[in-house]
């Protein structure tokens, strides 16, 4: 997978259908549990990202939510403004990914490119030495050492991860939990996708990182609206939480198309945005499985997922309980 530069006229026709998340999977399984209403299920994972501070308004949107909803609908019609002003793909991600993918580019040139950005160098080394990825008791202390020990392909994934995180950074303290949790989820999905894939590990890793950019874009719109909202006004309605779930993957697909990422990315995201279709093969199925497994793990860690619901979800993604528990233990390192 090599990323190319975006042009100004990119669009994709995608139906406004629900994103296929854990919540959709639960509904698909037709659970009979009386402890989970349909609305509760649709907001389950969202509640991890943005816990409600006020009484839920049910299906009645407040002024803040209505403003953001209107902006989302506009973005779905034309993603250019979002892609260029709200959630801009870092330019360095294009140059570095292309060079890291090109075996003819000299290693010294690669190291120099990364070291030109001291913050990127520090973040790459931090990721190399994180519990989820470290391979020995000794820390990796230089980009050159990382390249030698990890190899070109893994370093490429780490660089992509660090640059993608620039888009996910949420500055206001009130919203920082969302940024941290969505980044953790994205890292888990990218890791799982590369583990589940028999080939194209680089592509599925990158798509796993970017599959939720629609959520980030919607949330950045929310932050801008929040700064102008009436005191104490917050997104609390079930309607808004469902909107975050149902529209975000569609917006992710639109952004991937506008940025001129590989066609398989936007096509896979468009397929995942349709809750009526379970992917049968390819990278869409890999991301679908990885997304559900990650959501299950995060919800279970927060004690928000009953065992009977978990069992039905694992059956959906064709994963036995012991394998899931092993994965769950690994994911907690992220």
Tens digits of pLDDT across the chain (334 residues):
554 444 444 444 333 344 445 555 444 444 434 333 333 434 577 777 666 555 555 557 677 777 888 888 888 888 888 888 888 887 777 778 888 888 888 888 888 888 877 778 888 888 888 888 887 888 888 888 888 888 888 888 888 888 787 776 666 565 667 778 888 899 999 999 999 999 888 889 989 988 988 888 887 887 777 766 666 666 665 666 766 777 888 999 999 999 888 899 999 999 988 877 889 889 999 999 999 999 999 999 999 888 888 888 898 899 999 999 999 999 998 8
Distance CA 208, CA 291 (A): 8
Find all residues with CB under 8 Å of 131, minimum gap 6, and list them: 333
Tokens of 71: 């902006």
Query: Using CA atoms, how far apart are residues 61 and 242, in angstroms rounded to an integer?
Result: 11
Give the contacts of 318 (CB within 8 A, at least 6 positions apart).
289
* CATH for the 22-89+172-331 domain, from 1.20.1260, 1.10.10, 1.10.3210, 1.20.1420: 1.10.3210
Give the alpha-carbon dihedral of 10, 15, 16, 20, to 10 degrees. Answer: -100
**Cβ atoms of 19 and 250 closer than 8 Å:** yes
CA 290 – CA 288 distance, rounded (Å) = 6
Residue 210 and residue 182 in contact, taking contact as beta carbons nearer than 8 Å: no
Residue for token digits 């907690």? 332
Taking the C-alpha atoms of residue 39 and residue 59, their distance in angstroms, rounded to an integer, is 10
């Amino acid at each position: 997978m090599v990323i190319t530069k975006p042009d100004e006229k990119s669009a994709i026709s995608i139906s406004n259908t629900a994103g296929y998340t854990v919540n959709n999977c639960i509904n698909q399984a037709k659970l009979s549990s009386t402890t989970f209403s349909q609305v509760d299920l649709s907001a389950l994972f969202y509640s991890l990202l943005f816990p409600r501070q006020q009484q839920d308004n049910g299906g009645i949107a407040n002024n803040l939510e209505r403003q953001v909803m209107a902006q989302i609908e506009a973005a779905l019609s034309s993603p250019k403004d979002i892609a260029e002003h709200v959630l801009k793909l870092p330019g360095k991600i294009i140059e570095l990914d292309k060079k890291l993918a090109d075996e003819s580019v000299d290693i010294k040139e690669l190291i120099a490119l990364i070291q030109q950005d001291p913050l990127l160098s520090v973040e790459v080394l931090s990721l190399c030495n994180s519990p989820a990825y470290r391979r020995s008791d000794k820390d990796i202390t230089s980009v050159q050492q990382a390249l030698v020990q990890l190899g070109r392909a893994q370093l490429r994934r780490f660089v992509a991860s660090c640059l993608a995180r620039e888009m996910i950074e949420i500055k206001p303290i009130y919203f920082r939990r969302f940024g941290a949790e969505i980044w953790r989820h994205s890292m888990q999905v990218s890791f799982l996708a590369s583990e589940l894939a028999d080939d194209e590990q680089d592509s599925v890793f990158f798509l796993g990182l970017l599959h939720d950019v629609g959520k980030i874009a919607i949330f950045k719109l929310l932050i801008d609206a929040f700064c102008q909202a009436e005191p104490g006004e917050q997104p609390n309605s079930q309607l808004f939480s469902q909107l975050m779930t149902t529209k975000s993957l569609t917006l992710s697909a639109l952004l991937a198309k506008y940025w001129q990422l590989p066609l398989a990315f936007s096509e896979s995201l468009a397929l995942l945005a349709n809750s009526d279709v379970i992917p049968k093969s390819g990278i869409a199925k890999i991301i679908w499985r990885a997304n559900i497994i990650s959501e299950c793990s995060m919800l279970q860690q927060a004690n928000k997922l009953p065992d009977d619901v978990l069992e039905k979800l694992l059956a959906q993604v064709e994963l036995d309980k012991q394998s899931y528990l092993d994965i769950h233990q690994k994911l907690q390192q992220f």
